[in-house]
Every structure is written in structure tokens, then in C-alpha cells.
Structure 1
Amino acid sequence: MTRLLRAAVLAFWAMLLGLAVAPEAQAAPTCNGKFVNPITDVCWSCLFPLSVGGLKIWPGNRPDASNPGSPICACADPVPRVGISVGFWEPARLADVTMKPWCFPNLGGVRIAPGFDIGQGYMAGPSMVGGRSQSTAKWHVHWYVYPLLYWMELLTDFVCFEQASFDIAYMTEVDPLWQDDALSGLINPEAIVFANPVAQAACAADCVSATASMPIDSLFWCAGCQGSMYPMNGNIASSIGHVQSSRLALSRFAYKMHRQALAWGTMGAKGLCEKYVMPIMRKQQYRFQMVNPIPTVSGRFACSPIGASTMPPDAGRAYPAGGEDMGYLVWRKRNCCVM
């Protein structure tokens, strides 16, 4: 009788907490990935161009966001100071983009499941849309704080580097807004304005601009060649490949972080003295470099801006044994006033 009572109590609490034990017969999908090697897996040429004011002192072969024209800058907080305006690109964040809940490709392909049914059910496959078979995809994103330049001490006592430790800052498995189109409308109600053919046709110009140089920030509802920034979640209605689809999910996630004030502006004249709130993300602030399954460490498209064509870096970068588990290093444009 005591055993029956104990079992009943456990079942009652499991029901309240929403816990569910997966049947042993249903094995979890394999999670693929590897740890990022900061020496061999990072495209170090993505640091460039370096600039002082509007002058590029180390151009490189990659397009750059606009910089403040004057080489002299002044800040008032915490103490008044005059310095030199510098611009550079920093590897600041790391991101898992995976179709498998609780799969962490950048942590060696480990799966850290909480043991209860949350964030589950994400699969990719064909669906019937308007009578035609269309491939859809659903992605989860894990966002890591990853200030690589500060860790490696490439420039000691350089105040512009973000001084932080490695941390998993966000997991979409526990975010209901990421998993539901209707709920995501709470943070992007303007999506209904751009849900029309005319607005989406304008994204073609963003695609061309992002591939040739930099994306068009004024077309903030566009993710260039990847598709639309709305809704701000991992539900990709038209997936034409793992690279295109995962980059779109990551672009939407970065926008979502800005909308929730969890990511801030670091570029332009406003970013010289401090970070600032940027609820409408400037796409030119970011570059994405693939580090899993196969790192892109060289070439002009190694760290493409948001919305650039995935044709050059797509070939051979996603394969059946791991193509659903992607990892990206997020490069962030930084303008800073150095004393």
C-alpha cells in the first residue's frame, strides 16, 4: 500500500511539473559537432578592415560598414576625455543553430536534455503548401558570450574589447515566443505591414547589395537572399538548404535579441563611447562565419554579412551526417573611442 501511495504521489507531481520520461525505444537523434579551435577554426582575416576615423589603415578584401568621419572623438562618461576613433570587427558571440532540441554542436556535439518535454518536436521535412510540396525547417538557437579577442589578450588593456567570460546566454528551447508564430507577434507586431508581395519584392535589392557589399539597413524586414526577417522565430517556411535556412534562423534570432534589448548597438558614432539600444537591428553590424560542421576560414565569403548569397559558402558545407547541426561565429562591428 505504501508503494502504491508513493507511486501515486510521484505521478501527481510529475503531472504538475510537466515532466515526461521518453520511452527507451525512442532513442534521441544523434547530435553532431566539435569544439571550436580558436586558432584553426577562426577566420582571422575577418578582423579587417581596421580604420581610424574614415581612413582604413588595414583595408583587407571585405566590405565594411560606415565609420565616423573624424579621427578625433570625445566622450563625457564616466569622465570627460578625448581620444581616437577606431573601427574593427570582433568575434563576440558563438551560436548553435540546430534542428534537434538541446543539441550543442559547438560544445562537441553533446546533447544536454533536461529530462522533461520542453522545446521538443522540432523536425524538418516536406509540407504541402498551396498544393505543392515545399520544404520547411524549424531551428533552435543557443547564444554564447564569446569575447575571443579579450581571452587571447591580443592587445592587453584595450578598453574596446568586451571583457566577459564564456557563458550560454540564451536557449530558444525555453522561449515560447521562438516556437509559435502567433506569440512572436508580441515583439514584432509590425510584421503584418510587410506581409505583402511589394515589401517582399524589395528584398531582392537587399540580396544583391548584401552579396556585393553590405546589406541595406533601411530594408530592415529583409534578410536578403535568405528571406524575410519575420516572424522572429525558427520556423522557416521555405528552406532551400541547411546553410540558407540556418543563417536565416540566426539572422532572425539576432534581430529578436535586439528587439528584447538583450543585444545592443556597437557601431557608428553613437557606439564610440558606449553601447546603445538598437530595437531595429542594423544588419551591417554583423557577419556570420560557419565553424560547424566545416569551418570557413578563408575567402571573401568566409564571414558573410546578413542576407548575402549562400551559393559560394554552401557547397560541401552541409552534409547528411551533421548538416542539421550548425555552428556560427558571430563577428560584430565595433566603433570605439580610444584614449
Structure 2
Amino acid sequence: MLLAAAAALCFTGTAQSQQMCNGSFPNLITDVCYDCIFPISIMGGFVNLGGSSEDYSTGVSGAPICICTNNLGVGTPVSLWEPRYMVDTTNKPGCMPLLGGIDINTPYNAAEYGGEKTTTGALKGKRKSAFMHVNEYVNPIMTALGVVVNNPCLDNRSFDVPFLSWADPTWNDDALSLMLTPYAYPFAGVPSVAAELPDAISATVGFPMEILFWVAGAWGPMYPLNGNVAIANTPEQVSHLMIARLFAKMHAAGAGQATAGQEALNSCGALGVPQLVMDKRQYKTNRVFPFPDNLCTPIGRPLPFQEIGAARPQDKDYGYIVFQRKDCCATTSLAN
């Protein structure tokens, strides 16, 4: 028995150590679905570009001008979906698919490999769970490409890597993760399952329901904000859920901002205002690796089209561009 157990451990360790890190740098010209930027509204809706594209009401005033007291500026309201982030998901700690598939030696959690696990219960039959790592990159594409120069509404930050799940001690620990969001305890179990269907329906026909912040529609429960997924249907579903949880986690930690709504507009800045409980409507994804899906996917939307050809056995790593809804006051300063 001991020999068998030792052999099994050796086999598992060997299999994990041989796991490849696949990836490629996204082509920002051809891989990104730029239709996801639309609709663009200017002057409170007086000018609309791409009006047939999906959007939701952020409650912003329809006034054609806006005023900023923080920089003595007056301008015009502008709304759009800005491609601000890249996110990749992987089973291998230290693997960074969207950085060309580089594989770094992690000083922490080096043995915490992701993957799927099937268990058999006495009453519920077989159930598949999963664990996955995620990396976040700040990469404002429109600024990086120089499409618009010196625009106060666009994120002008340089490339950065604000989150690596292998470096987060809560990413594989449910109890530790819930300490960050104690308000999520009442929504575990039945309340979570009951809210998934209406949220999924809402996301199917448009965008998810802001009030149901504890679920991610058809993707599963939002909490705990880590890599453990109790019910894993497909790799694409798990991967999308990792994105939703990542941004909910960044908001809960005070590192995520709301860029849509009247308060964001009045802030007259490109980065938005703090928002501890994420309004999940403000994000949508576009897969660029292992191959582009050319789709704009709000959080919680069922993924039948995204999953076409995306569940190949060799695909363990995925990469996405994340668009964020933005309401901004494009100002001309009066201070000088």
C-alpha cells in the first residue's frame, strides 16, 4: 500500500511538473473585438455611435454639458466601453499565457496546480469541481495604440500586473477568502443557487442584475472570491467565473473603481470612483487566446457560442480582454 501510494504521488508530481504553459502575445489589431467599444454616446446622447450595440442605463443625466469643480473644467459627457485590462486563466501557478506563455518559478504555492476533480456522492451522483489560477494585467489598449492622445476620459496608465493568484494566500482557502467579504456569508448555499437563474436570464437578453451581486449568472456563485469552483461544467465557464471573481475581489479590496454612473461622471477622471461591492454590469469579456471569439460577453451570460471549439483537451490556458463601461466628462480646463 505504501509503495502504491508513493508511486501515485510520484506520478502526480511528474504529471504536474510536465504541464506546459501555453500562450502568445495578443495581436491588438486583429485579435480584439473592437465592436465591444460601442455604443459611444456624446453630449448626453445627442450623438450616438453604434446605437444598436448592447448597453445598459447607468442613470447618468442626459444634459449635453458637464462641469468639474475639481479642475474648473467644463465639457461634454462621453460614454463608451474601454478595453482596459487583460486577464488570463491557467492551471499552472506562474504561467502567464498572455505574456507569450512565460513560466516563472513561483516562491509561493508552487505546488497548487489547478484542474478538475470528479467526486461521487451517495445521493447526487457524480459532481465535477475545479480550481484555477488567474493573472490580471492593466493594459489600456486605446492608450497603448495611441488611438487618442491626451484624452482625459481614457485610462493612461502604463502596463502593470496588479494581481497574481499564486501570490494571494486567500486564492485557495475558502475560509480565509470569506474574511475579506463577511457580508457574503448569508448568500451561501440555497440563496446563491436560487439567484443564478434569474441573473442568467437577465444576462442572456442584456446585462446581469446589479442587485444580485452574490452570483455571476450562468457562470456560478460569485463567492468565495477565490479559485475554488464547487460545480464546474466546462473549462470556459470556470475561466469566465475566475474573471468575475477577480474583479469582485479587487473591488472588495478597494482596488477596483466604478467608472459608470453619475458619480463617476462627476469625478471627471479616467479611473473612476471607489466601489467596494462591484456592479458586475460594467464589465464584459472578449477571448483572445487560444483563439479569438469575436464576442462581447457580459458577466453571467450563458456561453454556448464561446465554447464552440474552446474545450479541446490541450487547452488549459485562456486569455481575455476585459472592457469596462465608462461615463466621463471630456473637459477643457478653465484654470489657465
TM-score range, shorter chain: 0.7 to 0.9
Partner in structure 2 of residue 150 of structure 1: 143
Structure 1: gaps spanning 5 or more residues:
1-22
Distance 1:337 1:177, change over 3 A: same
Mapped partners of 2:25, 2:245: distance in 1:
24
Q: Partner of 1:277 in structure 2?
A: 274
Distance (whole Å) between structure 1 residues aligned to residue 103 and residue 158 of structure 2: 22
Q: Map of 1:228-243 to 2, 5 A cutoff? A: 228-243=221-236
The separation in 2 between residues aligned to 1:127 and 1:54, in whole angstroms, is: 53
Q: 1:130 to 1:303 in 2, by over 3 A?
A: farther
Of 172, 176, 179, the match for 2:172: 179
Hey, what's the Cα distance between the residues in 1 that align with 2:19 and 2:164? 19
Aligned pair in 2 of structure 1 residues 114, 48: CA closer, same or farther (>3 Å)?
same
Deviation per residue, 1:87-116 (Å, 9 max, x gap): 011110001111111111111222112366
Give the match for residue 81 of structure 1.
73
How does 1:250-261 map onto structure 2 within 5 Å? 250-261=243-254
- Given residue 39 of structure 2, which amino acid in structure 1 is its aligned partner? P
Partner residue in 2 for 1:35? 25
Deviates further, 80-89 or 50-59: 50-59
Structure 1 residues 134, 47: CA separation in 2 closer, same or farther (over 3 Å shift)? same
- Identify if the C-alpha distance between structure 1 residues 128 and 113 changes in structure 2 by more than 3 Å, giving closer, same or farther: farther
Q: CA deviation at 1:236?
A: 0.7
Q: Residues of 2 paired with 1:196 and 1:169: CA distance?
A: 31
Return the alpha-carbon distance in structure 1 between the equivalents of residues 16 and 218 of structure 2: 37
Q: Does 1:113 align with 2:105?
A: yes
Structure 1 letter corresponding to 2:53: R
Correspondence list, 1:1-339, <5 A: 27-52=17-42, 53-55=44-46, 57-67=48-58, 68=60, 69-77=62-70, 79-114=71-106, 117-118=109-110, 120-129=112-121, 131=123, 132-272=125-265, 273-274=268-269, 275-297=272-294, 302-322=295-315, 324-339=316-331
CA shift in 2, pair 1:228/1:115, >3 Å: closer
Q: If the length of structure 2 is used for normalisation, what is the TM-score?
A: 0.88
> Matched residues, percent identical?
37
**How far apart, CA to CA, are the structure 1 residues paired with 2:79 and 2:49?**
11
C-alpha distance after superposition, 1:108-153 (max 9, x if no partner): 2221123665462333221234552211110111110111101111
Over the aligned positions, Cα root-mean-square deviation in angstroms equals 2.0
CA offsets 1:16-46 (integer angstroms, 9 cap, x no match)? xxxxxxx889733111121100011100111
Q: Structure 2: which 5+ runs fail to align?
A: 1-12, 332-336
Seen in structure 2, the aligned counterparts of structure 1 residues 276 and 117 have a Cα distance that, compared at 3 Å, is closer
Distance in 1 (alpha carbons) for counterparts of 2:122 and 2:67: 57
What amino acid does structure 2 have at the position aligned with 1:42?
Answer: V
SS class of match (2:170): helix
Query: How many residues are paired up?
Result: 312
In 2, Cα distance between equivalents of 1:126 and 1:82 = 58
Per the normalisation by structure 1, the TM-score is 0.87
